[in-house]
């Protein structure tokens, strides 16, 4: 297991982003920056990040401002009144990318985006700093494209629970409610707008954001899991198509490919996937370097495995 070096990246307006850097034992073949899902702290990705570093990659993880270990320097690290939205989180992400790029400029830099971590790169100001995006369990988030079992509850969540709890607490108390973790008010309100619009962030925020996505040229490979309880294949395609000028490919994976027969939205990063999906992710990262998908097209690949674990 590769040990992580904890670091801090100063933020505009004070405070710092909490970073971890996992060093390979020898010369790094490339840099990988892990962009986390909404409400998921970087600690969740530590087993996979450590394993990936042992395969020769220099791996970075981080917590967005106001989240995880990047909490505000206030009494009790309270989020009440803390100012941050998803544009701030995209800037945080890009700042980590730029720092990682400066430290290893001669090697490719790939993003491994889990859910939100594959949505925010479309907002980058300098997407040319990225050599590829490996998307894990990510979709548009538009509520009508949620999994059916989630769709039955999501309108209550967005129209009742989120406004009420955020108004009372001054932030979204997700940890107390057992939903997505504690989030700054600006983040949860903006995310709500995105999830209510058929074109997600590009529709809710207008033409400027849509154009940002269209400026992306790095290749994108998206893994969609057939039993994902949050993101459907339809939602994955909606997100991927926002990157309209990028080479892009969607691959569907099924639970029968792993011994537990369960992947879901979070399962890829579990230690149980060390001998199954994690080695396949190496080939996925390598494929980004040799992407043969023409820009502006989408290739759809679906795996159908009948082998039993």
Q: What tens digit of pLDDT does each residue of 241-278 get? A: 999 999 999 999 999 877 777 899 999 999 999 999 99
Higher pLDDT pick, 249 / 293 = 249
> Which range among 46-60, 87-101, 169-183, 188-202 shows the weakest confidence by mean pLDDT?
169-183
pLDDT of residue 73: 73
Q: For 97, phi and psi rounded to 5 degrees?
A: -60, -45
Tokens of 285: 């990262």
Tokens of 257: 């490919």
pLDDT of residue 147: 86
Name the average pLDDT for the chain: 90
pLDDT of residue 307: 29
Q: Is the pLDDT of residue 308 over 60?
A: no
* DSSP string across 142-202: -GGGB-HHHHHHHHHIIIIIHHHHHHHHSEEEHHHHTSS-EEEHHHHHHHHHHHHSTTHHH
Contact 62, 18 (CB under 8 A): yes
Distance CA(214)–CA(211), nearest Å, equals: 5
pLDDT of residue 296: 47
Radius of gyration of the chain (CA): 18
Distance CA(207)–CA(174), nearest Å, equals: 31
Contact 102, 60 (CB under 8 A): no
pLDDT of residue 148: 86
Task: Name the pTM for this structure.
Answer: 0.92
pLDDT of residue 305: 36
Q: Is the pLDDT of residue 279 over 50?
A: yes
For strands 248-253 and 220-225, give the pairing: parallel
The closest alpha carbon to 49, from 115, 97, 3, 96, belongs to 3
Distance CA(264)–CA(228), nearest Å, equals: 4
For strands 30-35 and 57-62, give the pairing: parallel
- Which of 274-278, 291-295, 301-305 is most confident? 274-278
* DSSP string across 103-137: HSTTS-EEEEEETHHHHGGGG-S-GGG-SEEEEES
Distance CA(46)–CA(270), nearest Å, equals: 10
Tell me the CA end-to-end span of the chain in Å, nearest whole number.
Answer: 26
Tokens of 268: 């890829």
Q: What value does the mean pLDDT take over residues 171-186?
A: 93
pLDDT by residue (tens digit) across 20-68?
A: 999 999 999 999 999 999 999 999 999 999 999 999 999 999 999 999 9
Q: What value does the mean pLDDT take over residues 127-155?
A: 93
Percentage of the residues of the chain whose pLDDT score is greater than 70: 92
pLDDT of residue 14: 72
Q: What value does the mean pLDDT take over residues 284-307?
A: 58
List, in order, residues 6 or more apart from 157 with CB less than 8 Å away.
179
Residue with tokens 């570093």: 53
Contact 34, 289 (CB under 8 A): no
- Band of the pLDDT at 295, cuts 50, 70, 90? very low
- All structural domains of the chain, each given as residue ranges with its CATH number in brackets, are 4-302 (3.40.50.1820)
- Helix, strand counts (H, E) of the chain: 11, 11
Distance CA(242)–CA(250), nearest Å, equals: 13
User: What Å distances lie between residue 156 and 153, 168, 271, CA to CA?
Assistant: 6, 17, 34
Q: What value does the mean pLDDT take over residues 62-76?
A: 86
pLDDT of residue 142: 96
């Amino acid at each position: 297991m590769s040990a992580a070096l904890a670091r801090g990246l100063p933020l505009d307006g004070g405070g710092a982003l909490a970073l971890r850097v996992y060093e390979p034992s020898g010369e790094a073949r490339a840099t990988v920056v892990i962009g986390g899902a909404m409400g998921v702290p970087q600690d969740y990705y530590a087993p996979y990040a450590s394993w990936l570093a042992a395969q020769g990659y220099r791996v970075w993880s981080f917590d967005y401002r106001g989240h995880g270990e990047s909490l505000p320097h206030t009494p009790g690290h309270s989020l009440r009144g803390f100012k941050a939205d998803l544009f701030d989180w995209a800037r945080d992400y890009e700042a980590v990318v730029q720092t990682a790029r400066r430290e290893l400029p001669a090697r490719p830099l790939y993003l491994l985006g889990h859910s939100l971590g594959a949505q925010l790169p479309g907002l980058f100001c300098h997407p040319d700093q990225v050599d590829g995006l490996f998307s894990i369990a990510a979709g548009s988030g538009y509520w009508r494209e949620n999994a059916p079992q989630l769709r039955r509850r999501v309108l209550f969540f967005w129209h009742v629970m989120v406004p009420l709890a955020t108004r009372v607490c001054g932030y979204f108390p997700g940890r107390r409610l057992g939903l997505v973790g504690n989030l700054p008010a600006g983040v949860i309100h903006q995310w709500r707008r995105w999830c209510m619009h058929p074109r997600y962030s590009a529709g809710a925020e207008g033409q400027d954001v849509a154009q940002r996505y269209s400026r992306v040229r790095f290749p994108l490979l998206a893994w969609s899991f057939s039993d994902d309880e949050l993101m459907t294949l339809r939602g994955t395609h909606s997100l991927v198509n926002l990157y309209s000028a990028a080479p892009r490919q969607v691959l569907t994976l099924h639970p029968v490919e792993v011994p537990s027969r369960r992947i879901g939205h979070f399962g890829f990063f579990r230690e149980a996937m060390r001998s199954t999906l994690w080695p396949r992710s190496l080939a996925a990262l390598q494929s980004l370097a040799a992407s043969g998908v023409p820009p502006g097209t989408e290739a759809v690949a679906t795996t159908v495995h009948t082998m039993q674990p």
